[in-house]
Amino acid sequence: MLITFEGIEGCGKSTQARMLHDWIRENGQNTLLSREPGSSPLGEKLRAILLSQESGDISPLSELFLYLADRAEHVQQVVGPALQENKIVIIDRYVDSTLVYQGYGRGFELPFLQQLNARASSHVWPTLTFLLDLPPEEGLKRAKNRNVENAIEIEEGRFESESWKFHSKIRDGYLELAKQEENRFVTLDAQQPVELVFESVKKHLMEKITLTQA
Ligand code: TYD
């Protein structure tokens, strides 16, 4: 089973993904926590290129293909083998990030991106996707605090320095996707306390497991 977490910067995806991973493991199930971009040897290099401010302006088309190269490598080297071993795989960002950031954000047509996503992911689709929804101003505030705390303002600050308008488009894009695929997406209010969000994550996962086993 593949579970993904999506949302704008600072929405708390990584925290929830880690909490879910730990909880599943404590319950005796085999699980793998991963993220995009990154998570394969080539992917780590691509991540550094994609997120470093030093890269300057990467053209939207080049950026798209770098994310897709990262995904192809990630699925072939990491996600595919883990699913083969019956692990519950959790990914912090996946195919929907491309639809939203490169589609709603950069303006590429969704059918074109869906086709590329299908190839890059080898048709490995999430069973369940948690969208942690947050107003863009709140997300940017959180992401900025986190970067300052972790001293990654220079290394990985490229996206956070994008305009508020861009982040609004991203949020709206996610909500639109979630509406289109109601069976896969669970949208949660990320302004709630972390523990409350996590209770909802667990509840929805259990429901999904019950449904898929029925
Ligand atoms: P990251 O530091 O992982 O941010 P976050 O903690 O918010 O997940 O940065 C990932 C960035 O890459 C994020 O701004 C979204 C962007 N991205 C895309 O534009 N397209 C993609 O396909 C993926 C996977 C990520």
Residue 39: which CATH number?
Answer: 3.40.50.300
Distance CA 122, CA 91 (A): 16
- Cα dihedral 2, 19, 11, 147 in deg (nearest 10): -120
Domain tally, the chain: 1
Instruction: Report the nearest atom of ligand 1 relative to the CA of 10.
Output: 7
Nearest protein Cα to ligand 1, atom 7:
9
Return the bridge partners of 6, or none.
Answer: 131
Q: Which of 52, 97, 154 to mutate to test the pocket of ligand 1 (most atoms within 8 A of CB)?
A: 97
**Which pLDDT value is given to residue 160?**
54
**Which pLDDT value is given to residue 40?**
95
**Which pLDDT value is given to residue 154?**
47
Residue 22, domain extent: 2-213
Distance CA 210, CA 208 (A): 5
User: Which 8-state DSSP code applies to residue 75?
Assistant: I
Output the 3-class SS for 149-177: HHCCCCCCCCCCCCCHHHHHHHHHHHHHH
**Which pLDDT value is given to residue 156?**
55
Distance CA 111, CA 26 (A): 40
Q: Is 130 in the pocket of ligand 1 (CB under 6 A)?
A: no
Stated pTM of the model: 0.93
Residue-by-residue pLDDT tens, the chain, 214 positions? 999 999 998 899 999 999 999 999 999 999 999 999 999 999 999 999 999 888 888 999 999 999 999 999 999 999 999 999 999 999 999 999 999 999 999 999 999 999 999 999 999 999 999 999 999 888 878 877 776 777 655 455 555 556 778 889 999 999 999 999 999 999 999 999 999 999 999 999 999 988 777 7
Q: Is 101 in the pocket of ligand 1 (CB under 6 A)?
A: yes
Joined together, the tokens standing for residue 183 give: 């069976």
- Cα dihedral 170, 190, 130, 95 in deg (nearest 10): 20
**How much distance in Å is there from the Cα of 182 to the middle of ligand 1?**
23
